[in-house]
Structure 1
Amino acid sequence: MLMALSHLIPVDTFQCGFTACPSLNLEKIDQVALTDEDLGVHRVTSRTSHPLVVPPPESSDSAEPSDSGFPAPAFASRLAMDSASGGATHVVLSYRMMLQSGWEWVKGGKLPGIFGGEGDLSYACTGGRKDNRCKCFNVRPMWRAKGNGELYTYLPLTPHNRDPPSLQNNDYGFSVGCAAFNFDVAVGRWITLAFRVKLNNVGSEDGELELWVDGKSVIAVSGLQLRDSDKAHIKGAHFQTFFGGHSEDWASPKDQRAWFADLTGVVIE
């Protein structure tokens, strides 16, 4: 596998998977189109759209080839990614992304990630939710001021989940791996984000999170509890990006664009 493609699947073994990257041809990986039907898009946020577009060429010097001719989706939805047995517990989700040149960070914003939990409660771990936090989880990359990167997570409020390198925010989720990397590398050029979520065995604190940027592991955390019931599984991708925070001082001062491509997911267990 070419190095740029290996960044999309930075693990050696998996059961099955899907990809919207036309160059990624591997056994057990289904090629999918960037359509709502193929990707299982549902619960689309109101007043949003997700058209296919042709992004501009990269604007920074880079050894990576430009994907300027490849259409990129802008989903505000969640993508079904359950295993054949009906409940994934260990997955990798990845995509390529680029932020427009001159990007202004303001206070921060969220990027697409992974969600799960028990039934319809799995959709509930966003927007500052504090109730039933043991019944759902949500893991998304986030940029902060000056482009500092982290994983922004909604996890059960257990003592070990509060341990470093996690920081429990006063009102919302946990910031994991604060400033472990910087999203400056995505301004005007394509990068690949891949992140792995492994659920804990019920009754144990052995869950894991890991994030790769262009094939380099920048955050790796173990000893976590993401669920307290065997009914909780990884449901899919929470594919949404926005500035926030919830108050006006998080808002972008101008229209800004982010592009996403080559959405890929594999089930390890």
Structure 2
Amino acid sequence: MPALPITADAASYITSKWHTSSIYASEDISFIHDPIDTNSTSVVMKVDYPAGSYAPIGTKNGNNGVKGGAEFFSRPNGKKEYNTGLLSYDVAFDSNFNWVKGGKLPGIYGGKVGPGCSGGEKATGANCFSVRMMWRAKGAGEAYAYIPTSKSLCSEKKVICHGSYGTSFSRGVFNFSVMKWSHIEIYVKTNSGNNMNGILKVWQDDSLVIDQQNIKFRTNESLGVSSLMFSTFFGGGSTSYATPATHRV
């Protein structure tokens, strides 16, 4: 994080320091003093979700929606890809945060950065995979992944498959709260070959909340963990997910 707040053109800092070149809705990002712990001198990232905003699809392909949240990919190790990945961050929500039906939070991306493995673009096992966090109604948490699915996976008790969209893991086993920092850690271990032996683990505030075994992230071992997927917005790809008021995390 920068040493001092940046309230205008945060995109310049991100592109120069965080190994990325393209940012969706960069105008909704700024760096401010910690608003949750008022005794802290730390600088944190603030992301705004203007009223009426939802997923990026709402402003693309001729749609005239409202931009909100932000999205970019960070590849600190260039084009290298790995069999394991660990991502950690802290997140907090403003005092009047309306959860609506849900929204995305950052996660781990595998494969070449592109339009796949989000927004209804399926994971084939050969193109990419992604694992993000989501909040749902009333602040319920889950892991949300674009991965190849199977009847056995979709029949598991804590798994919800959404057809062409992502797969929900362990919805509601943990919760997010307003005006409170939550420490999130996401661990991915990719499967070997074409086997269902991949692992997904998530910790909240140092407590293991998701421990999902027997996952197939890929069908080809040349595909690996490549990027931080900084992706946050309300949605869901329809206006039913849109925030009725301006909020921030």
With the shorter chain as reference, the TM-score category is 0.7 to 0.9
Residue in 2 that maps onto 1:40: 19
Identity score, percent? 29
- Tell me the SS of whatever aligns to 1:52: strand
Unpaired runs of 5+ in structure 1?
A: 1-19, 23-33, 60-65, 259-269
Structure 1 residues 57 and 46, CA gap change in structure 2 (3 angstroms): closer
1:103 aligns with 2:94: no
What code does the residue aligned with 1:110 have?
A: K
In the alignment, which residue of structure 2 is the partner of 1:182? 175
Alpha-carbon deviations, 1:149-172, whole Å to 9, x = none?
Answer: 100110012334324221101441
Aligned residues: 217
Alignment RMSD (CA, Å): 2.5
Q: Secondary structure at the match of 2:17?
A: helix
Within-5 A mapping of 1:79-228: 79-82=74-77, 86-117=80-111, 119-120=112-113, 123-130=115-122, 132=124, 134-164=126-156, 165-184=158-177, 187-228=178-219
In structure 2, the CA distance between the partners of 1:156 and 1:148, relative to structure 1 (3 Å rule), is: same
Once the two structures are superposed, what CA deviation does each residue of 1:11-42 show, in whole Å capped at 9, x if it has no partner? xxxxxxxxx599xxxxxxxxxxx642232123
CA contact (8 A) 1:82 1:234 kept: no
**Aligned-partner Cα distance in 1 for 2:2–2:30:** 17
- Point out which structure has higher relative CO (alpha carbons under 8 A, 6+ apart): 1
Contact 1:133/1:154 (8 A) holds in 2 = no
Q: Which runs of 4+ in 1 moved over 6 A?
A: none
The one-letter amino acid paired with 1:76 is E
Kept in 2, the 8 Å contact 1:82–1:88? The answer is: no
SS of corresponding position for 2:220 = coil
Q: What letter corresponds to residue 224 of structure 1 in structure 2?
A: I
Residue number in structure 1 paired with 2:8: none
Residue 73 of structure 2 is aligned to residue 78 of structure 1 = yes
TM-score w.r.t. the length of structure 2 is 0.78
Q: Is the 8 A contact 1:99 1:189 kept in 2?
A: yes
Aligned to 1:6: none
Q: Deviations over 1:67-107 (max 9, x none)?
A: 46323264521111449x93211111011111001211100
